[in-house]
A and B are shown apart, each in its own frame.
Chain A
Amino acid sequence: MAVDFGKEVDHVARLARLTLEPEEKERMTGQLSDILDTARRIQELDTGGVEPTSHVLDLPVVLREDETRPSLPLNRVLQNAPRRQKNFFRVPSIISNVQAEK
Chain B
Amino acid sequence: MELYQKTAANLSLMLQKKEVSSVEVVQSFLDRIELVEPHVKAFITHTPLIALETASAVDKKRLLGEDLHPLAGVPIAIKDNLCTAGLRTTCASRILENFIPPYDATVVEAIKRAGMPLLGKTNMDEFAMGSSTENSAFFSTANPWNLDKVPGGSSGGSAAAVSTGMAPLALGSDTGGSIRQPASFCGLIGLRPTYGRVSRYGLIAFASSLDQIGPLSLTAHDSALLMDVVAGYDPLDSTSLPEAVPDYAAGLEGEIKKLRVGVIKQNLADGFNPEVKAAVLKLVALLGANGAEIDEISLPLADYGLGAYYLIAPSEASSNLGRYDGVRYGYNAGGDNIEVMFSRTRGEGFGPEVKRRIIIGTYALSAGYYDAYYLQAMKVRTLIRRDYEAAFKKFDLLVGATTPTPAFNIGEKADDPLQMYLSDICNINDALAGVPSLSVPSGIDSCGLPLGMQMTAPPSREGLLLKIAGFLEQKRDPFPLRPRVKLSEGGEL
A residues in contact (CB < 8 Å) with B: 8-9, 11-13, 15-21, 24, 27-28, 31-32, 34-36, 38-43, 45, 47, 50-57, 59, 62, 64, 72, 76-77, 79-83, 89, 91-94, 96
Contact = CB atoms under 8 A, between A and B. Distances in A.
Contacts of A59: 196, 239, 241-242
Given A50-B379, A57-B241, A82 B360 contact: no
A28 to B, nearest CB: 6
Contacts of A35: 310, 356, 360, 417-418, 421
Interface residues of B, number: 75
A10 B339 CA distance: 15
A21 B351 CA distance: 12
A84 to B, nearest CB: 10
Interface stretch (B49-57, B130-138, B330-338): B330-338
Given A34-B418, A36-B360, A38-B306, A53 B385 contact: yes
Interface string B332-368: 1001111111111011101010011011101110100
Contacts of A40: 307
B86 to A, nearest CB: 10
Contact of B372 (A21, A43, A80): A43
B380 A83 contact: no
Contact of A18 (B359, B377, B383): B359
Nearest to A40: B307
Contact of B376 (A38, A42, A64, A72): A42
Contacts of B362: 12, 15-16
A72 B102 CA distance: 8
Contacts of A28: 352, 355-356, 359
B376 to A, nearest CB: 6
Interface SS majority for chain B: helix
B266 interface: no
Given A19-B346, A38-B418, A96-B337, A82 B331 contact: yes
B329 interface: yes
B346 A18 contact: yes
B358 to A, nearest CB: 5
A76 B102 contact: yes
Given A32-B356, A55-B209, A81-B329, 15 more contacts: A16-B359, A17-B325, A17-B342, A32-B360, A38-B310, A39-B310, A39-B311, A40-B307, A42-B307, A59-B239, A76-B102, A79-B102, A80-B330, A83-B327, A89-B328
Contacts of B346: 16-19
27 contacts: A16-B359, A18-B358, A19-B348, A28-B352, A31-B417, A32-B360, A34-B417, A34-B418, A35-B356, A36-B360, A39-B306, A39-B307, A39-B310, A39-B377, A45-B379, A45-B383, A47-B380, A56-B209, A59-B239, A80-B328, A80-B329, A83-B327, A92-B335, A92-B337, A92-B338, A92-B341, A94-B338
A79 to B, nearest CB: 6
Contact of B343 (A19, A41, A56): A19
